């Protein structure tokens, strides 16, 4: 909000160094002249137009208040605060950058503090507000500290993205070491539960909130030799629905995203093999692997008012990959002549 004093609209526009595009005037109550204007700021935002609203009150002397709705105020997450776990890398980092570009304050929570700090630094460098918090999502005391730091710094938590997740090295189930199973279940599933419970209590108090859980296409169809991974992602789909129905009465929406195969540090070693890259790209109906930004776009939709009537659902972002099973079946149903 920027206040200026001036005698008339032209002077006001001159002071603000903006050019008018179109105006709407209306006369308000008492002796106040309420002036509403929608203008496009050309000088402030260059090629990207922004609208601003102006109100002017006439009493003893003409006082004009200029309410400049900057681009971030008009963005989808303006003034909201989001906690994103695992935001030091890959998909979480893309979500953190996208949310901050859309006006959100972002808590970058990651067990790797150095990586979290890099993301937060990038956010702050772009003129937004990011806070790095070293958090292991499997440790309740650290999750509580994450929420407390967020509240201390930003005062609210409107959005939680449970993104932190890991895979174990490929192993057939009959040989899977118990510690592989435990680690994946602890981080992917228990971490999602702990963060949801701790942050959810704040959201319940505030009677509003939005949670986005990171599931996977593996939760819809298992991936061979990935140990507990598919099981945890299937459980996240179910947990999402559970929370959605329990917390709808508190105005908290809970949804999940199921990424397909996305190019991130989680699988860059696989995609480094050109043959695998090309083989996978050929198979995927949209003929490319996904990028972290593809997931961040879905997360932005689920975290914003654009999805205000959506809860308990999952968005599959896989380039069509899970739909190709029938295409690979030899022969064709109904091909036999009658």
Ligand X SMILES: NC(=O)c1ccc[n+]([C@@H]2O[C@H](COP(=O)([O-])OP(=O)(O)OC[C@H]3O[C@@H](n4cnc5c(N)ncnc54)[C@H](O)[C@@H]3O)[C@@H](O)[C@H]2O)c1
Q: In the structure encoding, which two tokens stand for residue 61, read together?
A: 């002397």
Answer yes or no whether residue 169 interacts with ligand X by CB under 6 A.
Answer: no
Answer yes or no whether residue 163 interacts with ligand X by CB under 6 A.
Answer: yes
Local structure of 174: helix, strand or coil: helix
| The only residue of 39, 64, 92, 100 in contact with ligand X, by rule CB under 6 A | 92
Q: Do 167 and 222 touch, CB atoms closer than 8 A? A: no
Please confirm, yes or no, whether 271 is among the known catalytic residues: no
Q: Which stretch binds ligand X (CB under 6 A): 31-39, 46-54, 264-272, 321-329?
A: 264-272
Q: Which stretch binds ligand X (CB under 6 A): 48-56, 196-204, 255-263, 298-306?
A: 255-263
Q: Do 96 and 103 touch, CB atoms closer than 8 A? A: no
* Shortest reach from residue 33's CB to ligand X, in Å: 54
Number of residues that bind ligand X (CB under 6 A): 30
* Shortest reach from residue 302's CB to ligand X, in Å: 14
Q: Which stretch binds ligand X (CB under 6 A): 49-57, 132-140, 174-182, 327-335?
A: 132-140
Distance from chain centroid for Cα 330: 41
Length of the chain: 338
| The only residue of 88, 103, 130, 234 in contact with ligand X, by rule CB under 6 A | 88
* Shortest reach from residue 289's CB to ligand X, in Å: 8
Query: Using CA atoms, how far apart are residues 221 and 28, in angstroms rounded to an integer?
Result: 61
> Which among 121, 180, 229, 250 is annotated as catalytic?
229
Answer yes or no whether residue 187 interacts with ligand X by CB under 6 A.
Answer: yes
Cβ-based nearer residue to ligand X, 18 or 84:
84
Answer yes or no whether residue 266 interacts with ligand X by CB under 6 A.
Answer: yes
Question: What is the pairing mode between strands 51-58 and 62-67?
Answer: antiparallel
Answer yes or no whether residue 86 interacts with ligand X by CB under 6 A.
Answer: yes
Query: Using CA atoms, how far apart are residues 210 and 212, in angstroms rounded to an integer?
Result: 7
Cβ-based nearer residue to ligand X, 16 or 146:
146
* Shortest reach from residue 134's CB to ligand X, in Å: 9
Q: Do 54 and 66 touch, CB atoms closer than 8 A? A: yes
Answer yes or no whether residue 42 interacts with ligand X by CB under 6 A.
Answer: no
Answer yes or no whether residue 102 interacts with ligand X by CB under 6 A.
Answer: no
Q: In the structure encoding, which two tokens stand for residue 317, read together?
A: 């972002």
Answer yes or no whether residue 98 interacts with ligand X by CB under 6 A.
Answer: no
Q: Do 72 and 56 touch, CB atoms closer than 8 A? A: no
Query: Using CA atoms, how far apart are residues 196 and 180, in angstroms rounded to an integer?
Result: 23
x/- mask, ligand X, residues 200-219, rule CB under 6 A, reads --------------x-x---
Answer yes or no whether residue 267 interacts with ligand X by CB under 6 A.
Answer: yes
Q: Do 96 and 108 touch, CB atoms closer than 8 A? A: yes
Distance from chain centroid for Cα 320: 22
Answer yes or no whether residue 81 interacts with ligand X by CB under 6 A.
Answer: no
Query: Using CA atoms, how far apart are residues 326 and 332, in angstroms rounded to an integer?
Result: 9
**CA-to-CA dists, residue 131 to 106, 110, 116, 127, 314, angstroms:** 6, 11, 8, 13, 28
Buried b or exposed e, range 84-94, using 16+ CB within 10 angstroms: bbbbbbbbbbb
Q: Which stretch binds ligand X (CB under 6 A): 2-10, 65-73, 135-143, 329-337?
A: 135-143
Q: Which stretch binds ligand X (CB under 6 A): 1-9, 133-141, 193-201, 321-329?
A: 133-141
Task: Report the interface residues with ligand X, using CB under 6 A.
Answer: 85-86, 88-92, 110-112, 115, 135-138, 163-166, 187, 191, 214, 216, 259, 261-262, 264-267
Q: Residues with catalytic annotation?
A: 229
């Amino acid at each position: 909000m920027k206040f200026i004093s001036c005698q008339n609209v032209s002077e006001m526009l001159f002071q603000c160094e903006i050019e008018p595009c179109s105006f709407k005037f209306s006369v308000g109550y008492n002796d106040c002249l309420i002036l509403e204007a929608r203008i496009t700021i050309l000088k402030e935002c260059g090629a990207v137009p922004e609208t601003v609203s102006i109100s002017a009150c006439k009493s003893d002397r003409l006082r004009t208040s200029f309410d400049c709705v900057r681009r971030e105020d008009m963005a989808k997450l303006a003034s909201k605060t989001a906690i994103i776990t695992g935001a030091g890398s890959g998909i979480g980092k893309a979500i953190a950058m996208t949310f901050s570009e859309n006006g959100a304050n972002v808590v970058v929570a990651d067990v790797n503090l150095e990586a979290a700090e890099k993301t937060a630094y990038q956010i702050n460098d772009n003129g937004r507000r990011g806070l790095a918090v070293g958090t292991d999502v499997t440790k309740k005391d650290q999750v509580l500290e994450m929420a407390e730091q967020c509240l201390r710094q930003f005062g609210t938590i409107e959005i939680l993205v449970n993104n932190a997740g890991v895979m174990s090295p490929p192993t057939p189930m009959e040989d899977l070491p118990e510690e592989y199973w435990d680690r994946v279940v602890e981080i992917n599933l228990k971490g999602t539960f702990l963060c949801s419970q701790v942050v959810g209590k704040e959201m319940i108090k505030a009677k509003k909130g939005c949670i986005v859980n990171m599931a996977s296409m593996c939760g819809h169809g298992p991936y061979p030799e990935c140990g507990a991974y598919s099981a945890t992602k299937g459980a996240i789909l179910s947990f999402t629905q559970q929370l959605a129905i329990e917390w709808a009465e508190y105005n908290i929406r809970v949804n999940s995203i199921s990424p397909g195969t996305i190019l991130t540090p989680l699988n860059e070693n696989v995609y480094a093999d050109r043959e695998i890259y090309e083989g996978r790209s050929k198979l995927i109906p949209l003929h490319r692997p996904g990028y972290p930004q593809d997931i961040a776009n879905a997360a932005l939709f689920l975290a914003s008012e654009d999805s205000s009537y959506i809860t308990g659902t999952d968005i599959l972002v896989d380039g069509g990959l899970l739909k190709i099973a029938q295409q690979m079946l030899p022969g064709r149903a109904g091909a036999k002549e009658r």
